């Protein structure tokens, strides 16, 4: 398994591409937007530059990593030789189902199809293909090159062989894979998102302010980042999407998103990526945040 296709050049997609390429895999990074591909490659280059500056990798390692990545705007061309495709598009069920229907049509019959979804059913995604036994979840954590965890999610029909293959592949990326079953939110977000949502409810109800809530959790619970700052980092739109998936999946009101979160997303306040969420992020502040991830 040497050719890996990655669908989506955004934050998660370029991080996944970076990681595979750094470990010697040939990566075909695919996005319908040429501009997104250029931006994704620029992000990978900047992150590699920081790793060189910190003496974590050499200039030769950086060049080899970048040489391992090729870009495509046409899905069929990008996946032609792929043994594994990792989809990292927006957390939208309709979009993901559309992508997997297309992948099923254009990929080789034995190509494994993985999704980086953080909440959507692997079984549902696999069901729109003719190869549900080859469909699996690979939920990387952000920032991908740094974070060790990969949630490996088995759909109802995912084969033992595919699960074992992806577990071993993750280890070759110097990650720690953890196998979980296919329920909304899996493990990471089933536990994390209600905490973030409750933090937003706490703010919404006037119990305390943003910095006060985050300080309590950082100093009292030893969290490296407060839940509201973390929500900004994840993206408030992404948090809302995940909560909606869990609410629809379980029909349990404890997963219903806080009205404040809904309003902030409608107002375009997504967190770091939009420049404003629970905190304000100037361009210099954003650069500082990214730099710290690779320090």
- 189 assigned to active site: yes
Q: Which residues pair with 71 in a beta bridge?
A: 29
- 248 assigned to active site: no
The rounded distance, in Å, linking the Cα atoms of 220 and 252 is: 29
What's the Cα-to-Cα distance from 242 to each of 98, 193, 215, rounded to whole Å?
Answer: 19, 8, 25
Catalytic hit among 116, 118, 119, 197: 118
- Tell me, rounded to whole angstroms, the distance of Cα 74 from its chain centroid: 22
Catalytic hit among 189, 197, 199, 241: 189
Q: Which two tokens stand for residue 244?
A: 């909606």
Q: Are strands 26-30 and 3-7 parallel, antiparallel or unpaired?
A: parallel
The rounded distance, in Å, linking the Cα atoms of 24 and 26 is: 7
Catalytic hit among 68, 119, 121, 139: 139
Catalytic hit among 14, 18, 116, 151: 151
- 139 assigned to active site: yes
- 118 assigned to active site: yes
Of 182, 180, 179, nearest to 171 by C-alpha is: 179
- Tell me, rounded to whole angstroms, the distance of Cα 206 from its chain centroid: 32
The rounded distance, in Å, linking the Cα atoms of 162 and 72 is: 26
Active site positions, annotated: 118, 139, 151, 189
């Amino acid at each position: 398994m040497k050719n890996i296709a990655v669908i989506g050049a955004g934050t998660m997609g370029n991080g996944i591409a970076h990681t595979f390429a750094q470990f010697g895999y040939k990566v075909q990074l695919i996005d319908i937007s040429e501009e997104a591909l250029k931006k994704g490659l620029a992000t990978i280059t900047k992150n590699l530059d920081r790793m060189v500056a910190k003496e974590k990798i050499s200039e030769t390692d950086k060049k080899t990593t970048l040489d391992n990545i090729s870009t495509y705007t046409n899905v069929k061309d990008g996946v032609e030789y792929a043994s594994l495709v990792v989809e990292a598009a927006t957390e939208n069920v309709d979009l993901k189902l559309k992508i997997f229907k297309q992948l099923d049509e254009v990929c080789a019959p034995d190509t494994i199809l993985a999704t980086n979804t953080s909440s959507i059913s692997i079984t549902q995604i696999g069901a729109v293909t003719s190869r549900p036994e080859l469909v699996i979840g690979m939920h990387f954590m952000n920032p991908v090159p740094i974070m060790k965890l990969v949630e490996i999610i088995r759909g109802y029909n995912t084969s033992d062989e595919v699960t074992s293959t992806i577990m071993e592949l993750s280890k070759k990326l110097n990650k720690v894979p953890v196998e979980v079953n296919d329920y909304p939110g899996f493990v990471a977000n089933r536990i994390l998102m209600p905490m973030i949502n409750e933090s937003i409810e706490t703010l919404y109800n006037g119990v305390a302010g943003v910095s006060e809530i985050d300080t309590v959790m950082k100093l009292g619970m030893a969290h490296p980042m407060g839940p509201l700052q973390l929500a900004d980092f994840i993206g408030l739109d992404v948090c809302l999407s995940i909560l909606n998936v869990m609410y629809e999946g379980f029909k349990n009101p404890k997963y219903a998103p806080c009205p404040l979160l809904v309003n902030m997303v409608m107002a375009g306040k997504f967190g770091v990526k939009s420049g404003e969420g629970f905190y304000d992020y100037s361009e210099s502040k954003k650069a500082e945040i990214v730099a710290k991830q690779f320090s």
